[in-house]
Amino acid sequence: MTEKKKTGDKGEDTAVNYLFANGYEVLQRNYRYRRGEIDIIAQKENILTFIEVKSRKNILYGYPETFVSESQEEWICLAAENYIENNNWQGNIRFDIIAIVWDTEEPSLDHFEDAF
C-alpha cells in the first residue's frame, strides 16, 4: 500500500469517527458509480450528506479542501444521483468536504458543509 493510500485511508477513518461523534449515521463508504466515487455517505436527521475527504501530511502545497476539482465534483454529483435513485431517497441532500492535515500527532480537521 502506498503512503498516499495509507494517508487517505487514515483520513477516511478519522472522518468517520468525527461523523459518529457528531450524530451522523454512516450509511456507506467508497460508493462507486462509473468514474465517480463518494468517500462517505452519511445521514443526520433528514439530510443525506455526500462527503469528500481530503487528507494531507502538511499544507506545504496547499490546504486539502482546495484539491477537489470541478470535474471531481461533477463525478461525485453523478454518483450521488445514482445513489439517490437506487435508494429512492426523497429528503434533502448536501455535499460536504472534510479536510484533514496530519502535521502534528493529533490531526486538524475542518468540516465544510455545503461545499459544492
41 pLDDT band, cuts 50/70/90, is: very high
104 pLDDT band, cuts 50/70/90, is: confident
Q: What is the CATH number of domain 3-112?
A: 3.40.1350.10
Angle, CA of 109, 112 and 114, to the nearest 5° = 160
Whole-structure pTM value? 0.93
Distance separating alpha carbons of residues 99 and 11, to the nearest angstrom: 8
Q: pLDDT tens across 55-91, in order?
A: 999 999 999 999 999 999 999 999 999 999 999 999 9
CA 95 to chain centre: 8
Domain parsing of the chain, residue ranges: 3-112
The DSSP output letter for 85 is H
Q: Quickly list H helices, 2-113.
A: 3-21, 70-87
Please tell me the predicted confidence (pLDDT) of residue 49. Answer: 98
Kindly report the average pLDDT of the chain as a whole number: 94
Rounded to whole angstroms, what are the CA distances from 58 to 10, 55, 61, 108, 111? 14, 9, 8, 10, 17
